[in-house]
Amino acid sequence: MLNSYLNKNTMESNVDYLGILLQMAFALGFVGLTMVATHTLGPKRRTAQKAEAFECGVESVGNARLPFSIKYFLTAILFVLFDVEVIFFYPWAVNFKELGGIGYLKMLFFIAPLFLGYLYILKKGALNWEKM
Amino acid sequence: MYPIIVLSVAGILSMFIGAFKLKKVALPAVLLATLAAFGSNLLPQNFNDTPLYSGMLQFDWFSIRYAAVMIAVTLVILILSRRYYRDAAEHLGDIYALFLFSVVGGMIMVGSMNLVMFFVGIEILSIPLYILAASERNNLLSNEAGLKYFLLGSFITVFMLLGIVLVYGTVGSFDFDAINSFVHSYNSSDELPMLFKVGVLLILVAFIFKISAAPFHFWSPDVYQGSPAVIMVFMATVAKTAAFGGAYRFLDACIGPMSDDFSVMFAVLAALTMSIGNLMALRQDSLKRLLAFSSVANAGYLMMGFIGLNEKPTDTTLYYMLVYSIANVIAIAVYLTVKESQGSGSIAGLRGLYQSKPLLTFCLVLAMLSLAGIPPLAGFVGKYAIFVEAIRDGYAWLVVIAAINSVLGIFYYFRVMRAAFEPAEGGPVQVPYVLGYSAVLVMCTLALLVLGIFPNLFFGIW
Amino acid sequence: MENLIWLIPTLPLLGFTVLGLGARSLPKGMAAFIGCGMIVAAFLLSVGLAGPIFSGESLSQDLFTWMRGSRWSVNFGFQVDQLSWMMMLVITGVGALIHVYSAGYMHDDERHNYFFAYLNLFVFFMLLLVMGNNYLLLFAGWEGVGLCSYLLIGFWFSNNEYNDAAKKAFVMNRVGDLGFLLGLFLTLTVFGSLNYSELFAEGADLEAYGSTAIFTAITLLFIVGAAGKSAQIPLYTWLPDAMAGPTPVSALIHAATMVTAGIYLVLRSLAFFELAPFTLNVLMWLGLATSIFAATIGLKQNDIKKVLAYSTVSQLGLMFFALGLGAYVAAFFHLVTHAFFKALLFLGAGSVIHGMSGEQDIRKMGALRKVLPVTFIVFLIGTLAIAGIPPFAGFVSKDQILLAAYEHSPVLFALGIGASLLTTFYMFRLLFLVFYGQSRADHHALEHAHESPLSMTLPLGVLAVLSVVGGFLNWPGLMGGNFWLQNYLSPVVKEAEKHHHISHSTEWGLMGLVVALVLATIFLAYQKYISKAAVPAEDANEAGVGKVLNQKYYVDELYDAVFVKPTQALSAWLGRIFDPKILDGLVNGTGTGLVAFSSAIRKIQDGAVGIYLFIFAFGILLLLAFQFLF
């Protein structure tokens, strides 16, 4: 099905690509514009600390054998965890109609443990920055 | 399959019990779930001679027996963990959950019929163990143990994955049956592709690591000593049972006739492992470290069971593993009691035990006798059965080494026993009473006796 | 009911477990109830098997495979045939009576509960011995009863003499057990099986397996075992000493059940014995010699229980004599009747001892007829039974043995009568000295003398009745009976062929002769101990033959000089020189070396992960090389 769709496209004129190009240009332009805007418009306080390379809250120079806060890692890991799970939604979303109600239930079943996991980390205080 | 589901759900529940700080119900709930898993494991519906889930898992007689032993030993460990975790307020639910997940991993490993499932099983088994090893957060040794175990474990996992990839590359399938027929399609194993053989060997390396056999045994003494005692005994018993079960499954169901190619290698490694384990154990003063080396030594004896696998009942290994586990659990339970009252985990700390706790001493003595392989205890029967099999396979030299090693073993097991009977300098010590503790210990001890006198009650040993 | 066979031995084992674990907390009444209840229940279950047993069937129940060798296997299973069923009835029946009796006898003992636990354990092992369907189970029971015997003889372990007696019993039994064990090994080697069903199967051709020499060797070894357990020459010396145990123990273990295990063993292995005529001869002479030997010693003993003990040895000898003669049924019949009247006599003696506050010396008794009327009557019945007065049980069974002896040769008959008359004499000597004449008891004991409680007299009554009517089990055809026991046992035990038939008139004549001689002997005893009121002399004042008999032919001293002293000397040398100097040096040297080596290699394991990883990688390379390059 996907193949036929692609084939159909190649038979059309190149005009169809114009929209994509436009969208790309717009996206890039928006990013570039905002970056420039924030840099020029925002207030700046330049300090030595700010100039250092960002290492997730760990001092980048000095003794490596130090206890360090795990906050960053935990948050990052949790983010990645939930982020990655979203990938599983794409195939489902594409085939949403074909899978129908059963597929919906299955997806609910898939998301339920995730939700439980979310509740768990919430309850454990893993997202509470101050308390950690 | 049922116990896997039951224990997984129970694990998640236990996490929530922990999260909602319902400390009181944690252990009863977990025990109940474990009992339920044990029961569901023995249900006739659980038995299935054909692989389930697109050929991923197979709950046949073999996996059910291994699962039964693993769950039963876990149950006992959980009961005995009361003494250890009485005062631990934090993360109790999580710890229990990790126990359960680890057992689930073990069951998946033993029941798997597919290399991918196999890998998933071994990881589900191991990762909770890494965390558990480090679960005593304020103890540096425990932290070290967890990190070490994790580092070394993942190092070996890499090799295992490489092995799996090589096997997949040559066979074109992860399925055990497919691999088995691939091996069968060659007349002799010499004609098998080199890459396939290397792949199989690399997978076996992971097992040799998991069962802590030489030359990959170095992690176990350090990790065992650093880990909390309850975790240590879990690693030495349940995780090892799973590793042996998985190895059997792989050797038997996956590479089948080819497994005889590795007999010599296993024999040499077995001899090496038991000798190293016993020699190192001779001079240990810490009871935990002694048990760790004893566990290495026992892995050596058990590896003898891998020799000439094709015409062999798999029960001998399981029986040995079960009685070894029971004896180990008893020893650790006694250790916990002593440590609580004495604060010292050394063998000398056992002094005066007989004066204050004759029943406990009795259990300890029988456990040590069983480990040393003195009839009529079960440890003797297990060793004897394994030795006889090895002789039948023509490895008399290995049995001679094993017998010498058994004698070495007696030396340090008896050292422990002797210490228990020596009078303490400070007089007998009082140990706080914990409900059901002694009862479970005595039952375990009796099990050693009963299994020793009637080895064929549950297993076809002879 | 047949499915519950396993429950019969399990009940006493359960009783032992409960009593043993709860010995400290259970009240005495409860413990006694459990102890007695288990045995009574086992008895009732045994009785419940009567139907199929009487119809000539043999029941069996396999529980599980106990042991499996490469070419042989042994099941944990039970076999109840006519022979073992009768034994079970005796064990549980007489056992139950003795348990009830013990409830009274041991009531004031502080270790009362342990006593019942041991007794229950004994019954379990004894049942295992007779019910097992193979020699290995028989051996397990055999050892188990030995253990219980040891525990019970030394029950009052605060007395060192009793401990010595227990040890002696154990050691003497071990000597016999070794013989038995060797016999079992030989059996296993020759036949490749220890199961009765395979060894003695219908139509099994045992002779195909070995020569007469083999059968003779096996059976002789079995006899060594039997001689140990059943107290025959030369291993009998433990039994009289075993009287150190509480009296119910003497009655149950050392008279009625355990000591008959040897006879059971021979009966069980008849197929072997029939192929070894030499062994049967040995058995015959051994039995006869023991019977006469023990009886002569019995003449000069003054301890009420010792007299009974020697009488037991003598009667057991008589049973072996019968076995040797080929009168198997007569031997078993005597075993059963002996169980009745000897248990009765022992319990009666116990009642006397109980009444006399622990006094056992018959020189310090006398005239107890009035004080202990019930005990007197039952003791009289027991004595008449053992002496062989018709129609008491002992007469019938003994008569059949003597008849079998006469069939062999009149000389054997005469010797048998001799032993029997000696028994009669010392038993009546005992009776007269204890119950008649003048009281010689000291004042104190007499004041407290009393008849025993109902729990003791009731079993006595039951046993007395059995001692009277027991003879009807195998009432001879001559006197209108039909040899019921012989017919009953015929599926298991077949009588050996008669050498020559004896006419009815001869049989009557012999019977009359025996009875007349017995009566004459009783009269002799009456003359000496009642008319002349003779009292046995103090041990020190004995002289001549009397002293030799009183000192039991100095057999203990002989064994001491021949076996014990040299062994002790050897072990002293081993202990002083050989072990510490030579062996320890060797062992310690090895140990020290290993420990030093161990310390050296311990350094590799120093905890550095880097090194571990390096070794891992190296190890993988090594394994690859090992597997694929060589």
Mutate to test the interface with A, among B8, B15, B143, B144 (most CBs of A within 10 A): B15
The residue with greater pLDDT, B449 or C452, is: B449
pLDDT at C497 over 70: no
Q: Measure the CA–CA gap between B300 and B305, rounded to whole angstroms.
A: 9
Q: Which amino acid is at B455?
A: P
CB-defined contacts B:C, below 8 A:
78
Strand partners, C60: C79
Average pLDDT over chain C, rounded to whole?
85
Give residue-wise pLDDT tens across range C35-93: 999 999 999 999 988 888 888 888 888 888 887 776 778 888 898 888 889 999 999 99
Cβ contact C393:C337 at 8 Å = yes
pLDDT at C154 over 60: yes
Q: Measure the CA–CA gap between A17 and A3, rounded to whole angstroms.
A: 18
Q: Measure the CA–CA gap between C206 and C272, rounded to whole angstroms.
A: 8
Two tokens, residue C241: 């000493």
pLDDT value for B242: 94
Q: Measure the CA–CA gap between C260 and C141, rounded to whole angstroms.
A: 13
Helix (H) or strand (E) holding C75: strand C73-80
Percent of the residues in chain C that have a pLDDT greater than 90, as a whole number: 16
SS3 for C195? strand
Flag whether residue C159 sits within 8 Å of chain B, measured between CB atoms: no
pLDDT value for B296: 92
pLDDT value for C65: 81
Residues in Cβ contact with A120 at an 8 Å cutoff, skipping those fewer than 6 apart: B15, B16, B19
Each domain of chain B, given as residue ranges in start order, spans 261-462
Helix (H) or strand (E) holding C303: none
Peptide bond into C453 cis (omega under 30): no
Model confidence at C498, pLDDT cuts 50, 70, 90, reads: low
Q: Are chains C and B in touch, 3+ Cβ pairs below 8 Å? A: yes
Two tokens, residue A24: 């790309």
Q: Measure the CA–CA gap between B87 and B90, rounded to whole angstroms.
A: 9
Asked if B216 and C619 come within 8 Å (Cβ–Cβ), the reply is yes
Asked if A124 and B12 come within 8 Å (Cβ–Cβ), the reply is no
pLDDT value for B329: 92
Q: Measure the CA–CA gap between B302 and B318, rounded to whole angstroms.
A: 9
pLDDT value for C213: 86
Q: CA quadruple C161, C165, C168, C170: dihedral positive or negative?
A: negative
Two tokens, residue C509: 């004549």
Q: Measure the CA–CA gap between A26 and A22, rounded to whole angstroms.
A: 6
Burial of C444 (0-12, 13-18, 19+ CB in 10 A): exposed
Strand partners, C169: none
Alpha-carbon distance values, C524 to B418, C201, C457 (Å)? 66, 52, 31
CA distance A112 to chain B (A): 12
Average pLDDT for residues C408-416, to the nearest whole number? 88
Q: Collect all residues of chain A within an 8 Å Cβ-Cβ radius of residue B19.
A: 119-120, 123-124
Q: What are φ and ψ of residue C326, in 5° steps?
A: 90, 5
Model confidence at A1, pLDDT cuts 50, 70, 90, reads: very low
Asked if B16 and A124 come within 8 Å (Cβ–Cβ), the reply is no
Alpha-carbon distance values, B240 to B203, B262, C137 (Å)? 16, 20, 37
Residue of A nearest to B20 (CA): A123
Asked if B201 and C627 come within 8 Å (Cβ–Cβ), the reply is yes
Q: Collect all residues of chain C within an 8 Å Cβ-Cβ radius of residue B454.
A: 64, 66, 76
Asked if B265 and C623 come within 8 Å (Cβ–Cβ), the reply is yes
CA distance A9 to chain B (A): 36
Residues in Cβ contact with C590 at an 8 Å cutoff, skipping those fewer than 6 apart: none
How many residues in total does chain C contain?
Answer: 630
What's the whole-model pTM score?
0.68
Q: Collect all residues of chain C within an 8 Å Cβ-Cβ radius of residue B293.
A: none
Two tokens, residue C608: 């550095």
Asked if B19 and A116 come within 8 Å (Cβ–Cβ), the reply is no
pLDDT value for B462: 44
Q: Measure the CA–CA gap between B300 and B443, rounded to whole angstroms.
A: 28
Strand partners, C303: C361
Two tokens, residue C521: 């002997």
pLDDT at A132 over 70: no
Q: Measure the CA–CA gap between B57 and B425, rounded to whole angstroms.
A: 56
Three-state helix/strand/coil letters over C249-273: HHHHHHHHCHHHHHHHHHHHCHHHH
Calculate the CA dihedral of residues C417, C422, C425, C429 and round it to 10 degrees: -160
Cβ contact C87:C268 at 8 Å = no
Burial of A80 (0-12, 13-18, 19+ CB in 10 A): exposed
Q: Measure the CA–CA gap between C621 and C626, rounded to whole angstroms.
A: 8
ipTM: 0.84
pLDDT value for B270: 93
Percent of the residues in chain C that have a pLDDT greater than 70, as a whole number: 97
Q: Measure the CA–CA gap between B143 and B31, rounded to whole angstroms.
A: 27
Flag whether residue C614 sits within 8 Å of chain B, measured between CB atoms: no
Q: Collect all residues of chain B within an 8 Å Cβ-Cβ radius of residue C602.
A: 280, 283
Q: Collect all residues of chain B within an 8 Å Cβ-Cβ radius of residue A113.
A: 12
Two tokens, residue B450: 């009963």
pLDDT value for B402: 92
DSSP secondary structure code for residue C64 in this structure: E
- Cβ count near C324 (within 10 Å): 26
Asked if B19 and A120 come within 8 Å (Cβ–Cβ), the reply is yes
Cα-trace Rg, chain A: 23
Cβ contact C257:C339 at 8 Å = yes
Q: CA quadruple B231, B232, B233, B239: dihedral positive or negative?
A: positive
pLDDT at C124 over 90: yes
Two tokens, residue C573: 């040398």
Mutate to test the interface with B, among A114, A118, A123 (most CBs of B within 10 A): A123
pLDDT at C481 over 90: no
pLDDT 10s digit of each residue in chain B, 462 long? 889 999 999 999 998 888 887 878 888 889 999 999 999 888 888 887 788 888 889 888 888 989 999 999 999 999 888 877 776 667 788 899 999 999 999 999 999 999 999 999 999 999 999 999 988 888 888 888 999 999 999 999 999 999 999 999 999 999 999 998 998 888 887 888 889 999 999 999 999 999 999 888 888 888 998 888 889 999 999 999 999 999 988 988 888 778 778 888 999 999 999 998 888 888 788 888 889 999 999 999 999 888 877 666 668 888 899 999 999 999 988 888 877 776 677 888 888 788 777 888 888 999 999 998 887 888 888 898 888 888 888 888 999 999 989 988 888 888 888 888 888 776 666 666 666 778 888 888 988 888 888 887 766 544
pLDDT at A2 over 70: no
Which of these, C319, C265, C266, lies nearest to C132 by C-alpha position?
Answer: C265
Give residue-wise pLDDT tens across range C366-376: 778 888 888 88
Q: Which domains does chain A have, with CATH numbers?
A: 69-132 (1.20.58.1610)
pLDDT value for C128: 92
Chains contacting A with at least 3 CB pairs below 8 Å? B
Two tokens, residue C599: 């310390």
Chains contacting C with at least 3 CB pairs below 8 Å? B
- Classify each residue of B142-166 as buried b or exposed e, where b means 16 or more C-beta atoms within 10 Å of its C-beta: bbbbbbbbbbbbebbbebbeebbeb
Nearest to B280 among C602, C623, C628 (CB): C602
Two tokens, residue C457: 């007299």
Three-state helix/strand/coil letters over chain B: CHHHHHHHHHHHHHHHHHHCCCHHHHHHHHHHHHHHHHHHHHCHHHCCCCCECCCCECCCHHHHHHHHHHHHHHHHHHHHHHHHHCCCCCCHHHHHHHHHHHHHHHHHHHHECEHHHHHHHHHHHHHHHHHHHCCCCCCHHHHHHHHHHHHHHHHHHHHHHHHHHHHHHHHCCCEHHHHHHHHHCCCCHHHCCHHHHHHHHHHHHHHHHHCCCCCCCCHHHHHHHHCCHHHHHHHHHHHHHHHHHHHHHHHHHHCHHHHHHHHHHHHHHHHHHHHHHHHHHHCCCEHHHHHHHHHHHHHHHHHHHHCCHHHCCCHHHHHHHHHHHHHHHHHHHHHHHHHHHHCCCEHHHHCCHHHHCHHHHHHHHHHHHHHHCCCCCHHHHHHHHHHHHHHHCCCHHHHHHHHHHHHHHHHHHHHHHHHHHCCCCCCCCCCCCCCCHHHHHHHHHHHHHHHHHCCCCCCCCC
Chains contacting B with at least 3 CB pairs below 8 Å? A, C
Asked if A123 and B19 come within 8 Å (Cβ–Cβ), the reply is yes
Two tokens, residue C77: 């299973």
Alpha-carbon distance values, C279 to C179, C206, C285, C287, C293 (Å)? 14, 17, 10, 12, 20
CB-defined contacts A:B, below 8 A:
12
Q: Collect all residues of chain C within an 8 Å Cβ-Cβ radius of residue B197.
A: 627-628
Flag whether residue C624 sits within 8 Å of chain B, measured between CB atoms: yes
Flag whether residue B59 sits within 8 Å of chain C, measured between CB atoms: no
SS3 for C78? strand
Which of these, C350, C429, C352, C339, lies nearest to C383 by C-alpha position?
Answer: C429
